[in-house]
Amino acid sequence: MQELKLFSLTTSLTVFVTYLTYVIAKYYTKNGKITIPESFSRTWIKLKGKEKILFTFFTWGISLPLLVFCYDKDTGVNWLLASGLILIAYVGAVPNINKKGFRAVHLIIAISGIVLALIGVL
C-alpha cells in the first residue's frame, strides 16, 4: 500500500507542477516577467479552445490519485478527505466560471472541496 500511496502522491505533484508550469509559461509570462494566476479557476479562462480540457485533467490529476489516502484498514474511510477530493474533481468537470450563475456554484464547490480536504488531512 505504501508504494501505491507514493505513486499517487508523485502523480498528483507531477500533474500540479506540470500544469502550473505550462499555464504560467504560456499565459502569465510577458517580456520575461512572470505573474502569478489569481486562482487555479482563473487559469481555465486563459486557456484557449481545446486547451480548456487541461484544467479538467489538472483537477482530476491532483485530486483523484489522492483518494488512496482516504482509506486506512485501522480507521476506515476518511469521509472528509474523500468528499473534499471528489468536490475538487467536480470543479474540473464543470469549470465554466464565466457563465452566469455558475460562478457562485463553482466557488462554493471549490472552497468546500479545499476546506473539507484540508480538515480531512488533520
What pLDDT was estimated at residue 10?
97
Helices (H), the chain: 2-27, 40-46, 53-63, 79-93, 102-121
pTM over 0.85: yes
pLDDT in tens, 13-57: 999 999 999 999 999 999 889 999 999 988 999 999 999 999 999
% of the chain beyond a pLDDT of 90? 75
- Cα–Cα separations (whole angstroms), residue 24 to 32, 56, 57, 118: 11, 17, 16, 25
Distance separating alpha carbons of residues 55 and 96, to the nearest angstrom = 10
Find the range with the poorest average confidence among 63-67, 79-83, 94-98, 103-107.
Answer: 94-98
pLDDT at 12 over 90: yes
% of the chain beyond a pLDDT of 70? 100
